[in-house]
Amino acid sequence: MSVDESTVRRVAKLARIAVEDHEVPKLKTELDAILAFVEELSELDVDGVEPMTSVTPMRLRLREDVVDDGENAERVLANAPAREGDFFVVPKVVE
């Protein structure tokens, strides 16, 4: 698959990238190379290969989704710059 100069300009406009006329041929070459690589990848046989979420298998231990108060306000508020009782004190942002 190959792109033409009008496609390069359209992609640049959609990406909100200012492209000068003298830059279009270079970008066309780069987009053609990217599309050629994608076509090469589509030739791979991936039957029986599970989709991955990362390069290492993720085995997360799931915990119960339970609402609680953290049960340790002192530890939570230990690094607070300002506090009042068991609450953070923040600057007023709405007048």
pLDDT in tens, 51-83: 777 777 667 778 888 887 777 888 888 888 899
Q: Is residue 56 part of a domain?
A: no
For residue 37, name the pLDDT band (cuts at 50, 70, 90). Answer: very high
16: in domain? yes
- Give me the pLDDT at residue 73, please: 81
Q: Give me the domain span that covers residue 16.
A: 5-42
CA distance 38 to 35: 5
Token pair belonging to 29: 């070459």
Looking at the structure of the chain, the number of domains it has is 1
Is 51 inside any structural domain?
A: no
The per-residue pLDDT for 36 is 93
Q: Cα 71–73–76 angle (5° rounding)? A: 110
Q: Does 87 fall in a domain? A: no
**68 belongs to a structural domain:** no
60 inside domain: no
Which pTM value belongs to this model?
A: 0.50
Please check whether residue 76 lies inside any domain of the structure: no
